[in-house]
Chain A
Amino acid sequence: MCLALPAKIIAIDETNDMATVALGEVKKEVSIALVEDAQINDFVLIHVGYALNKISPEEAERTLQLFAEAGLTE
């Protein structure tokens, strides 16, 4: 039962394909090597250190709401 988290890209380091992503107040470094044309403010699904793919802000919001309901983001 592996969760993939929706997170927003807030900074990109193009020299090593890494990005800083934010989920609420929490920030994390992930690889964006697998996501084509990742931009700041894009939402991506992250899992075990990688951004897997982009998702729409609406889908990210719905998923985060579900995580909150499940008590996972408290």
Chain B
Amino acid sequence: MGIEGFLDIQLTMNDSIISDVEIQSSRPVYASQVFLGKSVNESLSMLPLLFSICGVAQACSGIRACEQTLGRQVSAHVEHVRDSLVDMETLREHLWRILLDWPKLLDKQLLNKNLLTQEMSEIIKYQQDYRNLLTSGSNPFLLDQDIPAVSAESSQPIKQLNQLLERSIFSMSPAQWLEIDSIEKLQHWFESSETVAAHLLKKIQRNEWQGLGRNNTRGLVLELDVLESDALDFSKLYELFEDNNFVKQPQWQGTCYETSSLTRVDSILLQNLHQNFGNGLISRLVARLTEMAQIAQKLLGDVKKKAHNISQKRNDIPGDGIGVVSAARGLLMHHVSIEKNKIKKYQILAPTEWNFHPQGVVTQSLVGLQGDTEQINSQVDLIINAIDPCVGYKFHIV
């Protein structure tokens, strides 16, 4: 059943050190070809069906690309609803993967299947309740949809989700956890807590793996107004999309970049971790925990943020647009060309392709690992899961 594709990773070991990494991908990066010749709304309604794991982010990136292309204006309210639903999906994905994967990454088996089933079902229910309350059955990811004013009750599923986060991840409210601002306080938290997240950080400290996988790969910058060479420049992006290989092995200005929770989340704690351990393992795991707590606060309305849509239409050629969304695993881009309301070209660039580029951040993180085979196996799983926990992969050491 190879439809979903996977990553085949070969690690070359010399004198107990990983000296070389080769990544081959069979991921179906051209699946969006299915939309060619279809109408815009037909294609948009199919997106979440085809990519159901991050279906909300895919739908959001798709509608933004189409609206840019068609020159449609969208109200701030609709953009706010879209962003909130993408945030909710990111929170669900992070939570699911932590509950599913982190027990397996621990020496002790902490997986309580009955509890896990109950918690994962709860998360789906809160996500559905939230969407229903926010949209009243409308679909904000189709063209020209009116979305009614948000019900005051929409905070109820978020409150329940905050309670679940407190119970299963933080041992305290997400707001309280966000007050942890030093490595010492973080250490005190994970040493005195019994959640799966605390146990994994204990393991990392015990093995002195905090800086594991540290490397110099830079993060993609989302902001258009940032005067940095890394910031995405849409006119150049359009040129890159002309080469179909861009969605398979993307580079920006000839360089590999990372896009993940780590490259977009900020806090004093993360700055301290980065100073001590760079983009090593502990920074990655804490970035994901921080993002979960921050989203939980944001959706409760405790943190006010404007909707964040930096999508752009092409200025030199009409009928071309790019939609951008910060999805759970990183920056997701849809590039679309429309002619007479039919899709002429549809390309999707997922964060996985940036991160698992043959010379990308995963490769850079794995080169230099050292230890016996058992230690290497454990380290590789930890690093890959910390960068992108959603992708199917196999690795072998030669």
Residues of A within 8 A of B (CB): 1-5, 7, 17, 23, 26-28, 33-36, 45, 47-50, 53, 59, 62-63, 66-67, 69-73
Contacts and interface: CB of A to CB of B under 8 A. Distances in A.
27 contacts: A1-B27, A1-B31, A1-B332, A1-B348, A3-B28, A3-B51, A3-B52, A3-B53, A17-B113, A23-B1, A28-B1, A33-B113, A33-B116, A33-B117, A34-B117, A35-B117, A45-B52, A47-B390, A48-B4, A50-B100, A63-B49, A63-B52, A66-B34, A67-B3, A70-B34, A70-B50, A72-B28
Given A33-B116, A53-B124, A23 B3 contact: yes
Contacts of B34: 66, 69-71
Contacts of A4: 4, 52-53
A72 B53 contact: no
A3 B124 contact: no
Contacts of A33: 113, 116-117
A47 B124 contact: no
Contacts of A27: 1
Interface residues of B, number: 34
B44 interface: no
B54 interface: yes
B53 A2 contact: yes
A71 B350 CA distance: 19
A66 to B, nearest CB: 6
Contacts of A49: 392
Contacts of A26: 1
A52 to B, nearest CB: 8
A2 B54 contact: yes
Which 7 A-B pairs give the minimum distances between C-beta atoms?
Answer: A1-B350, A70-B34, A2-B53, A4-B52, A3-B4, A26-B1, A70-B31
A3 B50 contact: yes
B29 interface: yes
B225 to A, nearest CB: 28
B3 A3 contact: yes
B352 interface: yes
